[in-house]
Amino acid sequence: MERTILHSDCNAFYASVEMLHRPEMKGKPLAVGGDPEARHGIVLTANYPAKRLGVKTGMALWQAKQVCPDIVFVPPRMDLYLRFSRLAHEIYADYTDLQEPFGVDESWLDVTDSTSYKGDGLKIAEEISRRIKFELGITVSIGVSWNKIFAKLGSDYKKPDAITVINKENYKNIVWSLPVSDLLYVGRATEKKLKLWGIHTIGELAQADPSLLQRQLGKMGLILHLFANGDDQTPVSKEDYRAPIKSIGNSTTTPRDLVNDEDVRIIVYVLAESVATRLRENNFKCRVVEISVRDNELSSYSKQRKIELPTDITSEIAEAAMELFHQSYHWNKPIRSIGVRACDLVDALIPVQLNLFISEERRQRLHQMDLAVDQIRKRFGFSSVQRGLMYQDKLLSAVNAKEDHTVHPHGYFENGNRTGVEYLG
């Protein structure tokens, strides 16, 4: 039985969610990104009125202001976007448990088993589109195909609020005329190389000599050739406990150089509090903790370690980060900036094998304490309750960790997905 794969892409996702909370901005240009007061940073996404005036993702805010003087900038609220992402996945779950996130706003869905009672891929896509619009107030573009690569090309083909079916009868007409840069994993460097060999479209790539592509691009050349021909066999991962993103992190440039371990501990706890709070708000736990350090001469490094049990507990994340710091930094120079990142995220309800050497009762108390602090801060403000550690240096403890909040999406190949390259001999 041929697979039926959908790729659902929330249109201008961050901006669309913000517009729901700012109805007065309807029809006006809006962009999410950077600091709206200081006007620094880049555009993460823009709504369609802004896009029509030339605002693009990745553009500096000052450049966006030049092409669209009336644009309104708003800071990102990743917690809000993650909440909407989860709501979208709850809708997808009514059609399949084979749903694989590709970032916060995109997902592949294998609805093959649902076609016998829900209708074909187009009908399912139409139903999902209607529900997303009615239940969440945003729109999606959906691609329908027999493989993941063409499904994604379908969702990109028409925007916003569109459905494109790419099947074995029409794919050459739709896909092969597209620029080769539209294909997943054809970046600028690869595009430049392909153009040197006269390959400008996906169709030209599909008809190119695979051995030439392999010589010039290695295994990736064969993979791209398969992608262009629709021969990708990569399965859609089963919905389990994986988060739609793979890490949440905070970093900060400190108000003064850090000169000893106690200075570092204060900043690490400030950052860990922000990271752990976001994990709890979004029902995630992490299995890996990472720390990044940059000294006052801008030399930098990062280290990470797997922890014993998945956690969203502030002190466990902070102490894991401090262990990494002690193992790897020897105070050759003062420190200018530090980052703490929670990686390998899983659903907070994931079942775990208890460790006889770790007190689960103590961990539960720490978790309840963190939850209590969350509630107090929601009601009375962040500074209403502080760790005693923070009173050792008011300047360092006043750092606003949320300014540099980052999330990192999943990659296409990180699960060792099959592409069919192994069958080429």
What gap in Å lies between CA 180 and CA 199, rounded to an integer? 8
Q: Is 345 left (phi over 0), alpha (psi -120 to 50) or beta?
A: beta
Nearest-angstrom CA–CA distance, 347 and 140: 25
Three-class DSSP category at 73: strand
In terms of C-beta density within 10 A (0-12 exposed, 13-18 middle, 19 or more buried), how is residue 303 classed? middle
CA 103 to chain centre: 4
DSSP 179: B
Residues pairing with 72 in the sheet: 30
Rounded CA-CA distance 131/8 in Å is 13
Do the bridges between strand 300-311 and strand 284-295 make them parallel or antiparallel, or are there none, so unpaired? antiparallel
Distances (CA, A) of 104 to 8, 18, 87: 11, 15, 11
**Residue 182, SS3 per DSSP:** helix
- Per-residue DSSP letter, 17: H
Question: For residue 420, what are its two tokens?
Answer: 């069919």
Active site includes 106?
yes
Q: What burial class does residue 213 get, using C-beta atoms within 10 Å of its C-beta: 0-12 exposed, 13-18 middle, 19+ buried?
A: buried
- Judged by DSSP in three states, 256 sits in strand
The CB density around residue 384, as the number of other CB atoms within 10 Å, is 11
Catalytic residue among 106, 273, 290, 316: 106
Q: State the angle between helix axes of 261-281 and 314-328 in degrees (0 to 180), rounded to the nearest 10.
A: 140
- Rounded to a whole number, what is the distance in angstroms from the first to the last CA of the chain? 25
Burial of 224 (0-12, 13-18, 19+ CB in 10 A): buried
Torsion over CA: 317, 319, 320, 326 (sign)? positive
- The residues annotated as belonging to the active site are 106
